[in-house]
Amino acid sequence: MPMKKTFDANARALPHVQELHAYVPGEQPQGEGWVKLNTNENPYPPSPKVAEAVAGEVVELRRYPEPVSARLRAVIGERFGLTGKNVIIGNGSDNILDLITRCFVSQEGAGHTVPSYSLYPVVAGMSGQGMIDVPFTRSMELDVDAIVATNAPVFFLTSPNAPTGVAFPLSAIEAVLQRIDGILVVDEAYVDFGGETAAPLLNDYENLVVVRTFSKSYGLAGMRVGFGLASAGVISMLDRVRDAYNVDRIAQVAAQAAFEDVEYFDVQRAKVIATREATLKQLDALGWFTYPSAANLLFTEPKNAAGAAGAAVAADLFDYLKQSRVLVRYFAAHPLTCSFIRVSIGTDEEMEAFLTAVTSWLNNA
């Protein structure tokens, strides 16, 4: 019998891969009966036109997809007053963030605000690069001078921000663009729920990349489609490092169907915004501080029955809600987030279930 051959995968991996901490996605609970308000998904299904488009495409699956997603690029470009040459489609917007990093992030590392979307350090790490932090204070106002001072080849700015929902004014974004030499990525995953898009600035700033996703406002998180808008020069670089068939056939037609059903999109979006505002009123009535949100989430600082807030209170509520099968998100690691919980906006019924569980937590203290 030959000896079993061993291989120390960790020791043999490239040094930067040995150091890498993989992204930790929000929990996907198994079993029935969960109120899932932890990953900012849309509570409503995608447009019925998506199902039609998908069904029509299934018969074509023996063939490779159109490699550059040309049709989807053209349709999206037109909506923004651009051309397909200014658009790239990704397997989720995470894919676009990775392409940008592969092309443009150098040894100096990428910049980001803290807190913001925790995938940025992961994509930078996958390219063997680090991050330059620009910390927020509790006001969550954008520190333009600090962003400029990073001199980062790529700066990731989430607007509206995650996990707070706070949107930054276009004037601040333009001030950054004017003063930096590198690329500013404005990650607009949540913009459809109330933010102001930076897309019109693309005409004047070739160092701007706007990143969008179909996962939130279009209800297609399970399909994995996102897109980037930028100058033709930037897009052509991103195309060089893109997998040849990075977006499958089904995803291309599904995204197009969702994008073109504007009427359905507007109705669902308005419902989510109305539910957010109604939920906010209830949190205000409890006397909890909540950041003004332009996203499909609320970042709120719970107070217990004794009126106390803090990390222990937020952690206790998170655990209590989870035991009640209401799943929200808790970010324990950062002083600006540890006394808050992040609640995705669900249906009215789901938010009712959340608020009922909150009331019972308050009564059980």
In the bound complex, what is the minimum distance in angstroms from residue 308's beta carbon to ligand PLP?
30
d(CA 107, CA 50): 42
In the bound complex, what is the minimum distance in angstroms from residue 317's beta carbon to ligand PLP?
22
Nearer to ligand PLP, 194 or 226 (CB): 226
Q: Exposed e or buried b for every residue in 114-135, given b needs 16+ CB within 10 A? A: ebbbbbbbbbbbbbebebbbbe
Nearer to ligand PLP, 47 or 158 (CB): 158
Task: Give strand pairing partners of 88.
Answer: 228
Give whole-number Cα distances, 295 to 22, 158, 216, 344, in Å. Answer: 26, 11, 9, 9
In the bound complex, what is the minimum distance in angstroms from residue 362's beta carbon to ligand PLP?
29
> Which residue, chain included where needed, has tokens 């651009």?
82
Nearer to ligand PLP, 216 or 249 (CB): 216
Nearer to ligand PLP, 166 or 358 (CB): 166
Nearer to ligand PLP, 93 or 275 (CB): 93
In the bound complex, what is the minimum distance in angstroms from residue 307's beta carbon to ligand PLP?
32
On whether the CB atoms of residues 255 and 212 are closer than 8 A, the answer is no
Burial (CB count within 10 angstroms: exposed 0-12, middle 13-18, buried 19+), residue 246: buried
Tokens of 70: 């040309």
Give whole-number Cα distances, 236 to 72, 166, 232, in Å. Answer: 16, 32, 6
Tokens of 12: 């043999």
d(CA 344, CA 349): 13
Rg from Cα positions in the chain: 21
In the bound complex, what is the minimum distance in angstroms from residue 73's beta carbon to ligand PLP?
16
> Helix, strand, or coil here: 222?
coil
Short-list 115, 78, 110, CA closest to 97: 110
**Residues forming the site for ligand PLP (CB under 6 A):** 40, 92-94, 117, 158, 162, 187, 189, 213, 215, 221, 226
Nearer to ligand PLP, 222 or 233 (CB): 222
In the bound complex, what is the minimum distance in angstroms from residue 10's beta carbon to ligand PLP?
27
Nearer to ligand PLP, 26 or 310 (CB): 26
On whether the CB atoms of residues 244 and 67 are closer than 8 A, the answer is yes
In the bound complex, what is the minimum distance in angstroms from residue 114's beta carbon to ligand PLP?
14
Nearer to ligand PLP, 84 or 228 (CB): 228
In the bound complex, what is the minimum distance in angstroms from residue 92's beta carbon to ligand PLP?
3
